[in-house]
Chain A
Amino acid sequence: MGSNFFINDNQDVLIEILKRLDGRSLGVCACVCKLWCGITRNDSLWEHLCFRHVSPPPEGVRTVVVALGGYRRLYMVCVRPVLNRLRKWRPIGMETDAEIVRRVYWTRHEVELSLSLFCVDYYERVLLGGGG
């Protein structure tokens, strides 16, 4: 008996799966088809990716992030570079990315730092760069 399950007809399940992916995989999934491309553009997915390991979740941050360019941009500009650098320094046999992120990066301090960097990015782009 073949499966009757077509994931594009079950978008609630699809979103639950995408929510659990890392940024790189989300980027790959965007290329699967038009529907997936559209869903990965949904900023709340990237919000979840940025802050899902932070407890308690930062409050009052969303309006700021959205005004500065959205969570997807926050991930690309601030979160991802940090993760890449942390990965380079990973000692042999250390944990997975998710564990590194949870242990090293995701404290309030780092969240605030990434938001500050994001402000700088906005400043450079919009005020100095004359738009874009």
Chain B
Amino acid sequence: MASSSKTEQKKMLILKSSEEEEFEIEESIAVQSGTIKNMVEDDFTLIPLPNVDTETLIKIIKYMKKHGEKTKSNEKDIEEFDKEFVKKSFTELKELVLAANYLHITSLIDLLCQAFADRIKNKSVKAIREIFGIPNDFTPEEEAEVYEQHKWAHEEGKEHIDHSAY
């Protein structure tokens, strides 16, 4: 029996964003997401993602495509891509990490968490609260006590503290 053409038809999936927009993607690339992988194993080819909006899904697909073509020779290239990928506002990063967590894309979760860590490293307490929208639930006495217990952290590198929330 003559074999079919060398370039086999790659299995494609359709990912659907919360805004009902559809995106075609190779299955081999999409299964970098543990969530999608599970659905594929249950024979889904149309994958609804009601938790991921279009804008975020486009970015995630871009990430998976880049990482799907990882070879020994393009490691540096992918590193550069990753570096650029996280140069986004905190709002965008938050949307991305929520989606990456939902989709179980381990490498992307790592990348995003590292980006958050790098960016909050020298921030003040107030700036961190603002970035994440966290209300201060300490009473003034509790806050003073906690501050005192961690005085060493506030004193160290005092000159470099960043009060900006972006």
Contact = CB atoms under 8 A, between A and B. Distances in A.
- Tell me the interface secondary structure of chain A in the complex: helix
A33 B157 CA distance: 21
A104 interface: no
A34 to B, nearest CB: 5
Interface class of chain B by DSSP: helix
B36 to A, nearest CB: 19
A28 B117 contact: no
Contact of B153 (A6, A17, A26): A26
A59 interface: no
Interface stretch (B26-34, B71-79, B134-142): B134-142
Given A20-B117, A22-B121, A37 B101 contact: no
> On chain A, which size bracket covers the interface?
20 to 34
A31 B150 contact: yes
15 contacts: A1-B53, A7-B134, A8-B132, A17-B117, A18-B117, A19-B113, A20-B114, A25-B120, A25-B153, A26-B153, A28-B154, A30-B150, A33-B134, A33-B136, A76-B152
Interface of B: 53, 55, 91, 94-95, 97-98, 101, 109-110, 113-114, 116-118, 120-125, 128-129, 132-138, 142-143, 146-147, 149-150, 152-154, 156-157
